[in-house]
Chains A and B, each alone.
Chain A
Amino acid sequence: MLLLFVAFTLWPMVASWWYSFFDWDGVGPATDWVGFGNFAEVLQSGAFWHAFGNSFLFSLVAIFVEMPLALLVAILLNSQRLRGRNLYRLFLFLPVVTTTAVIGIVFAIMLDPAGGFVNGLLTSVGLVDAPITFLSESYALPTVMAVDVWKGFGITLIYWLAALQTVPDDLYEAAKIDGANGRQTLRHITLPVIAPIGVVILLLTFQKSMNPFDLVQAMTEGGPNHATDVVATYIYRYAFDPYLNAPRYGFACAAGVVFGAITLVMTALQGPLLRRQYLKGSR
């Protein structure tokens, strides 16, 4: 087990750093030392920062759209009196268990401008005159992000539902006796109690959302014209693209290291927030 851990977890991390100092196409040992050349190239590459920006946008959408929306639905589904809540939960969770790459392709077909289901529906009810080119350069990014939210929504929902379960019933009863209405209860009881877990959910959502490789690769391969490129597809292109004559492993590693370092810093920035909430929660 220790052998596996060293070979597949520690070694790859160290090796990524090591390879990133070489101009290396993966054939034979890495010998062509270029120092920080790859890093300089990554940092100066507009395409890399563009991909990075897109990855970051995916996170922002997950945090500022998916999380609040899931919380709202979770509050609704948490109400004991709501009929069919288990069925709703099941339906909203279903996409989570399915294969992202397959889902991406199903959506690509449904959103096709020529005869796809969504455009067929929109034109037949008269909402749009001409079919929307969902996966064109200008609309592809929001489209893929929307599918990403669709796919990940259920898991965030379950997180919030679990958080809501931790609110003790007697708090609600006390609030009722004190004559608080629904909104006041939510504002002063529910939200403060679940806030510490909310920070954990934030962290989990952030980590999950930074890597939308499967979906992007399946739907658009980062295109058209790199409009939906994220860091993972960017790295994939430099290292594994079958149409590439010589892979650039060293450069791809450097891009991975830069991205890894920045995400680590961003995760670490959430650390103090996490600790403060944790302390608050345990008090």
Chain B
Amino acid sequence: MRRLNLWHLLLVPLCLVWIYPFVWMVSTAFKSEREVFLGGLSVLPDEWTFDNFVRAWDTAHFGAYLSNTIVFSVTTVLIVLLVSATAGYALGRGSLPGKKVIVGLLIATMFIPHGYTIIPIFKLVDGLGLNNGLLGAVLATAGPAHVVPILLFMGYFAGMPQELEDAARIDGASYPRTFFSIMLPLAKPVIGTVALFNFMAAWNAFFIPLVFTLGRPDLRTLGVGMYSFFGSEATDWGGLAAGATISLLPIIAIFLFLQRTFVEGIAGAVKS
């Protein structure tokens, strides 16, 4: 027991290092410009001010970036859900010709390094006339096959009793109708996991939104906005800290609410 307590001596400083940047960020965001400039070490600001937030929100356009990020993330999640659920349904149930080949191909692409295929994707979206738009960035993010969600949906749908489908057909439901009003509502747990993880990934995305908004500064997402704010106003630490707080608080809040699903989802990835 005593030896166990000694470990706290290691864990407490470690955790401090891990969360202090967030504490620093929030505290600096509330400090006055003068206090930030003087570089005091205290956690609590001498005088609390909202100036930094006002500056970040209006002058540095973080208000617009926030709504861009929400639009970008929500649309991405919806497309990923729709595509991977339908794909998972088609692959998980019924006898689609060439099913094994498709699944094999999907799994193979998991192991081939990608992320370096951005140039063809960029040219493709550009060719569709969607460059310099949020929709282009959404397509580039949601378009590439999301193998893990597809496999999750596939496994889930494959495990459903055949009677459900038969009953729906006898009642006269068409194939799409069966899917949307019977099967999809039953897949809520998978929908939740997939939505959560893709929302987080989209919110934190940087590379694709950066590339697709190079010509349209007004469409930047929070991460990209933060990057360009740092590029132009590297000395406005208070404003930067406020911008960072605006960017991170929503995702941290979501995480704290849905912690369990997060941790279980990640742990599940290793076990299976």
Q: Do these two chains interact?
A: yes
List chain A positions with a Cβ less than 8 A from chain B: 1-2, 4-5, 7-13, 15-16, 19, 26, 73, 76, 79, 81-84, 87-95, 97-103, 105-110, 115-117, 120-121, 124, 150, 153, 155, 158-159, 161-163, 165-166, 197, 200-201, 204, 207, 210-211, 213-214, 217-218, 231-232, 235-236, 239-240, 242, 249, 252-253, 256-257, 259-260, 263-264, 267
Size bracket of the B interface: 35 or more
| Partner among B41, B86, B112 whose Cβ is within 8 Å of the Cβ of A13 | B112
Q: In the complex, what's the smallest C-beta–C-beta distance from A6 to chain B, in angstroms?
A: 10
Query: Are A103 and B21 CB-contacts (below 8 A) given A97-B200, A264-B112?
Result: yes
Bits for B1-39, please: 1 = Cβ < 8 Å to A, else 0. Answer: 100100110110011011101101100000000000111
Kindly identify which residue among B41, B119, B251 contacts A124, using a CB–CB cutoff of 8 Å: B41
How many A-B residue pairs lie within 8 Å, measured between CB atoms?
220
- Expressed in whole angstroms, the minimum distance between the Cβ of A150 and any Cβ of chain B is 7
Chain B contact residues, CB within 8 Å of chain A: 1, 4, 7-8, 10-11, 14-15, 17-19, 21-22, 24-25, 37-39, 41, 83, 86-87, 90, 102, 106, 109, 111-121, 123-124, 139-140, 143-145, 200, 203-204, 206-207, 210-211, 214, 222-224, 226-227, 230, 237, 240-241, 243-244, 247-248, 251-252, 254-255, 259, 262-263, 266-271
Q: Which 8 A-B pairs have the closest CB atoms?
A: A256-B116, A8-B143, A12-B117, A162-B267, A15-B120, A115-B39, A12-B120, A101-B223
Q: A108-B230, A260-B116 are in contact. List 4 more A-B contacts (CB 8 A).
A: A2-B102, A92-B15, A260-B113, A267-B111
**CB-defined contacts of A16 to chain B, threshold 8 Å:** 116-117, 119-120
- In-complex Cβ contact of A8 among B111, B124, B254 (8 A): B124
The minimal Cβ–Cβ distance linking B203 to chain A, given in whole angstroms, is: 7
Chain A: minimal CB distance from B187 (Å): 16
| Bound complex: CA A23 to CA B269 (Å) | 42
Complex CA distance for A87 and B112, rounded to whole angstroms: 37
**CB of A34, distance to nearest CB on chain B (Å):** 16
A200 touches B112 (CB 8 A): no
By beta carbon, the residue of chain B nearest A235 is B116
Closest Cβ of chain A to B182, distance in Å, is 20
User: What distance in Å separates the Cβ of B9 from its nearest Cβ neighbour in chain A?
Assistant: 12
CB–CB A101/B116 < 8 A: no
Q: Name the residue on B nearest A267 (C-beta).
A: B111
Q: How far is the CA of A99 from the CA of B223 in the complex (A)?
A: 7
Bound complex: CA A38 to CA B128 (Å) = 28
Looking at the complex, which one of B144, B211, B251, B254 makes contact with A99 (CB distance below 8 Å)?
B251
Cβ distance B246 to chain A, nearest Cβ, rounded Å: 10
* Interface residue from A94, A197, A214, A242 paired with B207 (Cβ < 8 Å): A214
CB distance from A101 to the nearest CB of B (A): 4
Let me know if B206 and A218 touch, CB within 8 A.
yes
